[in-house]
Structure 1
Amino acid sequence: MPTPQAHLVDDDEAIRDALAWLLQSRQIPCRSYLSAEDFLAAGPEGLSGCVVLDIRMTGMSGLELFETLQEQGITLPTIFLTGHGDVPMAVAALKKGAYDFFEKPFNDNELANRVLEALDHDARQRSAQASAQTIAARLDTLTSREKQVMELILAGKFNKVIADELKISMRTVEVHRARLLDKMGVKTAVELAQLLNRRS
């Protein structure tokens, strides 16, 4: 997994350098890109962290880059930097899922704080995604009968009722119950329900 960092995309060298200096002064790892095209060439699908993106650039605009990333399913939190005339465009980007925007000239500390929050947001998102994938992988190991028993357990039904509904012995229900709890890595029905709730 690559190091989480702020990815600075701005075609203005002075702003890029100032941003890099600001973030490094707060011990925030960062990498700079000269353009949207430069960032795409770096292979953003393998990156983690957040993007600090100028909304208006020569070549592909920041907004076009943001939309391209969304189309590719890349969900790095994106903070737009805007000039005064671009605020309506930035508000529209927020509605499409951008993390935030700052109007130039911006308060350095506020921007750095927001970048830290975006990095934390990305880390939490990735952790939840990994957790959901782990749960899905465990569910895939269950047999169809174990899944039936699990659904009835989650519905709050006792072993005897499950046995009657599935027309199997209570001992067989107990075996399926023990196996599915073991495969899911939990000890009780309550823990199982809590685990599955984490997927959503």
Structure 2
Amino acid sequence: MQAGTTSPTISRAEALTGPIVYVVDDDAAVRRALATLMRSVELCVETFASAEEFLLFSRPAVPSCLVLDVRLRGKNGLTFQKEIVDSSMHIPVVFMTGHGDIEMSVKAMKAGATDFFAKPFRDQDMLDAIGQALRRDKARLESEGAVMQLRASYDTLSPREKEVLPYVLGGLLNKQIASEMNLSEITVKVHRGQVMKKLNARSLPDLVRKAESLGIVPRGIDTAH
């Protein structure tokens, strides 16, 4: 399979929504073998001869993982992994090498690799590692999507509702919040209700968890006045 091509059993449209396995290895025979292995379990696969080719490829926001050879021509796989981490590119990495040693595998795992295989490896072991990496990336995408949706909901709050929220998180009663903000108790009650509704919070603990994911800090009684 040539670099940047998709499994013939899966259409490009499906590739944009289904999981994708990226393979980077400068050995064409290895790329073909891994592409065949991925197709055998109906996974979409994209293969590349170098790290540079991989970086030029437009990657859709779907669960994915990178199967990366340690010893590449030009750029070392471990060096490339560090660049991935430093650039905040969130993709699980499964390493493979024909010249692996303990020190190399430890370094890769410490840098966040999900697995490290010495060639030749068992096909099923590689498939198991890829399956685990894809599940991990799917969970990450779902978590990020939930935070984005929550942020959009937070942005619908009025300025007053955003002011009330930290006090609610701090556990203050409506009358205490009213005193702090120089508002009527009934007005605070309305704002509190709108905050709960707009953030789809089922309870105060649920609201606290959601606020934490947005980085909103609880606020207590201001003793300065």
Number of residue pairs the alignment of both structures matches? 200
1: distance between equivalents of 2:209 and 2:100?
48
Q: Give the share of equivalent positions with the same residue, in percent.
A: 35
Coordinate RMSD, CA, aligned:
2.3
1:61 aligns with 2:76: yes
Is the 8 Å Cα contact of residues 87 and 103 (structure 1) preserved in structure 2? no
Letter in 1 for 2:89: I
Cα offsets for 1:33-90 (capped at 9, x unmatched): 1222221221347664000000101122222322232233211101010234444223
Q: Which moved more, 1:76-85 or 1:183-192?
A: 183-192
Q: 1:99-138 counterparts in 2 under 5 A?
A: 99-138=114-153
1:74 aligns with 2:89: yes
Task: Please state whether the residue corresponding to 2:26 is helix, strand or coil.
Answer: coil
Q: Which moved more, 1:143-152 or 1:97-106?
A: 143-152
Is the 8 Å Cα contact of residues 63 and 135 (structure 2) preserved in structure 1? no
Is the 8 Å Cα contact of residues 62 and 141 (structure 2) preserved in structure 1? no
Letter in 2 for 1:94: M
Cα offsets for 1:84-135 (capped at 9, x unmatched): 4444223212212222211122121111011011111111101101111222
- Give unpaired runs (5+ residues) of structure 1: none
2: distance between equivalents of 1:4 and 1:148?
41
Shift of 1:156: 2.1
1:7 aligns with 2:22: yes
1:161 aligns with 2:176: yes
Partner of residue 12, structure 2: none
1:30 aligns with 2:45: yes
Q: 1:167-186 counterparts in 2 under 5 A?
A: 167-186=182-201
Higher helix share: 1
1: distance between equivalents of 2:59 and 2:86?
12
Distance 1:114 1:199, change over 3 A: farther
- Give unpaired runs (5+ residues) of structure 2: 1-15, 216-225
Task: Please state whether the residue corresponding to 2:65 is helix, strand or coil.
Answer: strand
Please report the TM-score for the alignment, with normalisation by the length of structure 2.
0.78
Q: Which moved more, 1:83-92 or 1:101-110?
A: 83-92
Determine which of 206, 210, 222 is the counterpart of 1:191: 206
In the TM superposition, structure 1's runs of 4+ consecutive aligned residues that sit over 4 Å from their partners are: 44-48, 197-200
1: distance between equivalents of 2:58 and 2:80?
13
